C-alpha cells in the first residue's frame, strides 16, 4: 500500500517517526460486498446499540461523520473530526503499542484500513475500519472521554516495554492477519496460535506497557459504564461487534467494578471476553489512569526505573533532579552499598535534553558511542552539586580551568580539568565538561582521557524514567513497522462475479427505482451460482419488502431456506427484523 499523509491542523503536529505507520486508505479496493458488510453491521448495531450503548454513541456517529450506508473516507471524517480537535489516519492493521498510544496523545485516531470479511461479520480477530471508525470515533465526541483518551496516550506512550512485548505484538498481529484471511491455511493459523500461546506462558513479570495495554483493553476497547447490574456499552470492541455487543450484557459475562486491578487482568484478543469491567462514569477512568501512572517509572524514577530501561533494550530516557534528560539505550547501572544508583551508562547514540528539547551540541552525533555519568552527592558532603552557589563551587574546586577530583558516594571518582558548565535559564547547573579526565569505580575505568571530553550530567537523583527519547527530534527512524503485512485477499473469478451482483443491487438502491426485473434476475443467479450467500438476498428483500410483487415471496422463501444453515440463522433473522 502506498504510504501518504495529508496534513491538516491536527496531523501537522505529529512527529515524523509516526508517519511511517500511515498508509493511504485503499478505498478503491473495498468490494461491493465489503460495502454491504459495513451497511449490515452498522444498521444492526445502531438498531441495538441505541438501546444499550452510552448516550454519546448515537450522537457521536452524527458528529464524526460516520455514514450508515457506506464505508467512511478519511478525508470526510477529518473534515468533521477537526471540529472537535481530532483527526484520523489510516494504518495497516495493528501497529506497535507505543506508536498507537503516541498517535492518541496527539489527538489522532488510528484507523485500520481493512474491513472484516463476511465470514467474520459478527466478530473479527483483526482491527478493521468497522471497529475503529464505527467503534472508537463516535465516543470521542464526548469531551470528557476524549480527554481521557488523549491523556491515556500521553501516559501510555511513556510506558516501558519488556524485550518480549514486541515479540508478542508481532505474534498477535500475524495471528489476527491469518485468521481474517480466507486464503490462509489451517496449519498457518495453528502455528501462529501456538506461538501466541507459548509466548503468553513465558512473558514473565508484566511490563508497564503490558499493564497499561490491559487498562486500555478493559476500557477503550471493552469497557462498560454505569450501573454494575445494568451497564451501558462504550468500548469500541463491543460497539463494533454484533455478537459481543449482545453477549456482553448477558449473565454469562461476569461484570467487575473497574479499578487499578484491571492492569493485572490479561486478555485473549482472538476470543470473546469472559469478564468485563464497569466504570461508574468517564471521570473514574481518569482517576484509575492517574493511580496507575503513579506506579510507573515515569513518576517514580530511581534504580527500578533504570533497570526497567536496561531490561527493555530499547531507547529510553532518565531525567535527573536538575531536569537534564539522558536518552539512549541504557546498558549499565552501578549501585552503592545501600542500593542507590550512583552511575548510569548508555551504549550507542545518546542525546541530552532539558524539558524535552535537545541541548545544543549534545545530540546523537556528538554522543555517538554512548554516555555515562555519576549520580548523587559527593562523598562526605551534604550539599549536592546542583544546590551549590558559585562560591560553593569555587570552594569545592569546581570551576573553569581547575584540575579537580570529585569523589561521589558509591566510590565513583571523576579526575580532570574543568572546561565549562551548562546551566538552565534559572541558573541551575546541568552539565560539567572536563578534559584529560579519568572516571573510575574502585579499580574499574569508566572513562579514559584518550576518549576525549568528558561530559558529566549533574543530578542527585533519578526522578523519572520512561520509554522513548525526551526530544522526538533527537533520533531518526524511531519505531519499527512490522514485517508481517496485512495480506490482500485474492478473489477468484467466481467471487468477483458475486461482487458484481452486489454492485448491481447497490445501484438499484441508490437510483431509488425498483427495478424488479434486474433484481429477479440477480436472485435467480444467486440461487443457482451462489446458494450460500445470505447477505445479498437480504439486500434484495429490503428493496421489495413494501412492494406487491412475486419477487417478495420468492426472496422470503429463499431466506427461509438459508436459515436452515445455523451459521446464518441469527444473521438473517436480525436482517429481516431490521427491514420489518
3-state secondary structure 75-115: HHHHHHHHHHCCEEEEECCCCCHHHHHHHHHCCEEEEECCC
CA distances to 117, 133, 242, 270, 531 from 38, in Å: 10, 11, 12, 21, 22
> Grid coordinates 481521557 are at which residue?
148
Ranges of beta strands (E only) in 301-355 are: 315-320, 324-335, 341-354
Helices (H) and strands (E) in the chain, counts: 21, 17
573 — alpha (psi -120 to 50), left (phi > 0) or beta? alpha
- Cα–Cα dist 182/402, whole Å: 73
Burial (CB count within 10 angstroms: exposed 0-12, middle 13-18, buried 19+), residue 297: buried
Single pTM value for the model = 0.87
Sequence-separated (6 or more) residues with CB below 8 Å from residue 459: 320, 321, 322, 324, 375, 386
pLDDT tens sequence for the chain (580 residues) = 444 556 666 777 888 889 888 988 889 999 999 999 999 988 988 888 889 999 998 888 878 778 888 998 888 888 888 888 898 898 888 888 888 999 999 999 888 888 888 988 877 767 788 887 778 888 888 999 999 999 999 999 999 998 888 888 888 888 878 887 777 888 988 898 888 888 877 777 889 999 999 999 999 999 999 999 999 999 988 888 877 888 899 999 999 999 999 999 988 766 778 899 999 999 999 999 999 999 999 999 999 999 999 999 999 999 999 999 999 999 999 999 999 999 999 999 999 999 999 999 999 999 999 999 999 999 999 999 999 998 999 999 999 999 999 999 999 999 999 999 898 888 889 999 999 999 999 999 999 999 999 999 999 999 999 999 999 899 987 777 777 777 678 889 999 999 999 999 999 999 988 899 999 999 999 999 999 999 999 999 999 999 999 999 999 999 999 999 888 899 999 999 988 8
CA distances from 564 to 539, 557, 579 (A): 19, 11, 20
Taking the alpha carbons of 539, 543, 545, 548 in that order, is the dihedral positive or negative? negative
State the angle between helix axes of 163-180 and 186-201 in degrees (0 to 180), rounded to the nearest 10: 150
Instruction: List pLDDT tens digits, range 364-415.
Output: 999 999 999 999 999 999 999 999 998 999 999 999 999 999 999 999 999 9
- Contact residues for 245 (Cβ-Cβ < 8 A; gap 6+): 45, 48, 49, 52, 53, 233, 238, 239
What is the number of residues in the chain? Answer: 580
For 79, 158, 183, 335, 353, the CA distances from 317, given in Å and listed in that order, are 37, 9, 44, 18, 10
Residue 42 makes CB contacts below 8 A (sequence gap 6+) with: 66, 68, 69, 130, 134
Contact assessment for residue 277 and residue 224, using Cβ atoms and an 8 Å cutoff: yes
Burial (CB count within 10 angstroms: exposed 0-12, middle 13-18, buried 19+), residue 182:
middle
- Kindly give, in sequence order, each residue whose CB lies less than 8 Å from that of residue 450, ignoring residues fewer than 6 positions away: none
Grid cell listed for 20 = 511511517
Inter-CA distances, 458 with 265, 315, 326, 421, 423, Å = 40, 21, 11, 10, 10
Question: How many Cα atoms sit within 13 Å of 580 on the Cβ side?
Answer: 7
The rounded distance, in Å, linking the Cα atoms of 2 and 22 is: 9
pLDDT for position 1: 41
Contact 501, 525 (CB under 8 A): yes
Q: Where are the alpha helices (DSSP H) in 240-334?
A: 242-247, 282-293, 297-300, 302-312
With both helix axes pointing from N to C terminus, report the angle between 282-293 and 208-216 in degrees, rounded to the nearest 10: 180
What are the backbone dihedrals phi and psi of residue 474, each rounded to the nearest 5 degrees, phi first? -75, -35
What values do phi and psi take at 43, rounded to 5? -65, -40
Q: Do residues 81 and 66 make contact, with C-beta atoms less than 8 angstroms apart? A: no
Grid coordinates of 361: 551540541
Please state, as a whole number, how many other Cβ atoms lie within 10 Å of the Cβ of residue 137.
25
Give the three cell numbers for residue 464.
523519572
User: Among 337, 338, 336, 345, which residue's Cα sits nearest to residue 307?
Assistant: 345
Q: First-to-last CA distance in the chain?
A: 41
- pLDDT value at residue 341: 97
Which residues, other chains included, contact 25 with Cβ-Cβ below 8 Å and sequence gap of 6+? 73, 74, 90, 113
Amino acid at each position: 500500500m502506498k504510504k501518504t499523509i495529508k496534513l491538516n491542523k491536527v496531523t501537522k503536529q505529529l512527529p515524523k517517526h509516526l508517519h511511517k505507520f500511515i498508509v493511504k486508505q485503499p478505498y478503491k479496493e473495498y468490494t461491493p460486498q465489503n460495502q454491504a458488510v459495513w451497511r449490515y453491521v452498522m444498521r444492526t448495531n445502531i438498531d441495538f446499540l441505541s438501546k444499550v450503548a452510552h448516550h454519546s454513541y448515537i450522537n457521536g456517529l452524527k458528529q464524526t461523520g460516520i455514514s450508515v450506508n457506506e464505508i467512511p473516507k478519511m478525508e470526510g471524517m477529518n473534515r468533521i473530526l477537526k471540529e472537535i480537535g481530532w483527526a484520523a489516519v489510516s494504518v495497516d492493521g495493528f501497529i506497535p503499542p507505543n506508536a498507537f498510544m503516541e498517535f492518541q496523545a496527539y489527538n489522532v485516531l488510528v484507523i485500520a484500513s481493512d474491513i472484516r470479511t463476511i465470514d467474520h461479520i459478527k466478530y473479527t480477530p483483526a482491527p478493521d475500519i468497522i471497529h475503529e471508525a464505527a467503534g472508537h470515533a463516535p465516543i470521542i465526541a464526548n469531551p470528557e472521554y476524549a480527554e481521557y483518551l488523549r491523556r491515556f496516550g500521553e501516559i501510555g506512550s511513556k510506558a516501558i516495554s519488556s524485550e518480549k512485548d514486541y515479540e508478542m505484538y508481532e505474534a498477535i498481529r500475524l495471528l489476527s492477519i491469518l485468521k481474517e484471511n480466507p486464503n490462509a491455511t489451517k496449519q498457518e493459523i495453528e502455528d501462529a496460535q501456538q506461538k501466541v500461546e507459548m509466548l503468553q506462558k513465558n512473558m514473565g513479570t508484566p511490563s508497564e506497557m503490558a499493564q497499561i495495554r490491559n487498562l486500555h483493553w478493559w476500557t477503550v476497547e471493552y469497557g462498560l459504564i454505569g450501573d454494575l447490574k445494568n451497564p451501558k456499552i462504550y468500548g469500541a470492541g463491543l460497539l463494533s461487534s454484533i455478537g459481543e455487543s449482545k453477549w456482553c450484557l448477558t449473565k454469562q459475562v461476569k461484570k467487575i467494578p473497574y479499578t487499578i486491578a484491571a492492569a493485572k487482568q490479561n486478555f485473549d484478543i482472538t476470543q470473546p471476553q469472559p469478564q468485563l469491567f464497569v466504570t461508574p462514569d468517564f471521570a473514574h477512568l481518569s482517576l484509575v489512569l492517574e493511580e496507575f501512572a503513579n506506579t510507573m517509572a515515569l513518576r517514580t524514577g530511581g534504580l527500578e526505573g533504570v533497570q526497567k530501561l536496561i531490561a527493555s533494550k530499547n531507547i529510553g530516557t532518565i531525567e535527573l533532579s536538575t531536569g537534564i534528560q539522558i536518552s539512549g539505550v541504557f546498558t549499565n547501572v552501578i549501585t552503592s552499598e545501600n542500593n542507590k544508583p550512583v552511575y548510569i551508562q548508555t551504549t550507542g547514540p545518546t542525546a541530552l535534553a532539558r524539558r524535552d528539547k535537545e541541548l545544543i551540541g549534545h545530540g546523537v552525533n556528538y554522543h555517538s558511542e554512548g554516555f555515562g555519568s555519576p549520580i548523587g552527592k559527593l562523598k562526605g558532603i551534604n550539599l549536592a552539586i546542583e544546590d551549590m552557589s558559585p562560591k560553593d563551587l569555587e570552594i569545592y574546586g569546581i570551576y573553569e580551568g581547575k584540575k579537580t577530583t570529585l569523589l561521589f558516594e558509591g566510590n565513583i571518582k571523576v579526575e580532570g580539568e574543568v572546561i565549562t558548565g551548562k546551566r538552565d535559564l534559572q541558573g541551575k547547573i546541568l552539565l560539567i565538561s572536563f578534559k584529560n579526565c579519568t572516571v573510575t569505580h574502585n579499580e574499574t575505568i569508566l572513562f579514559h582521557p584518550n576518549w576525549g571530553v568528558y561530559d558529566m550530567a549533574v543530578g542527585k537523583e533519578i526522578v523519572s524514567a520512561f520509554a522513548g527519547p525526551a526530544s522526538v527530534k533527537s533520533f531518526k527512524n524511531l519505531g519499527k513497522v512490522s514485517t508481517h503485512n496485512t495480506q490482500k485477499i485474492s478473489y477468484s473469478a467466481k467471487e468477483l462475479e458475486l461482487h458484481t451482483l452486489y454492485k448491481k443491487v447497490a445501484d438499484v438502491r441508490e437510483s431509488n427505482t425498483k427495478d424488479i426485473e434486474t433484481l429477479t434476475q440477480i436472485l435467480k443467479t444467486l440461487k443457482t451460482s451462489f446458494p450460500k450467500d445470505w447477505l445479498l438476498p437480504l439486500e434484495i428483500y429490503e428493496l421489495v419488502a413494501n412492494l406487491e410483487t412475486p419477487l417478495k415471496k420468492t426472496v422470503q422463501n429463499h431466506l427461509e431456506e438459508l436459515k436452515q444453515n445455523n451459521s446464518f440463522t441469527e444473521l438473517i433473522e436480525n436482517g429481516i427484523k431490521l427491514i420489518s
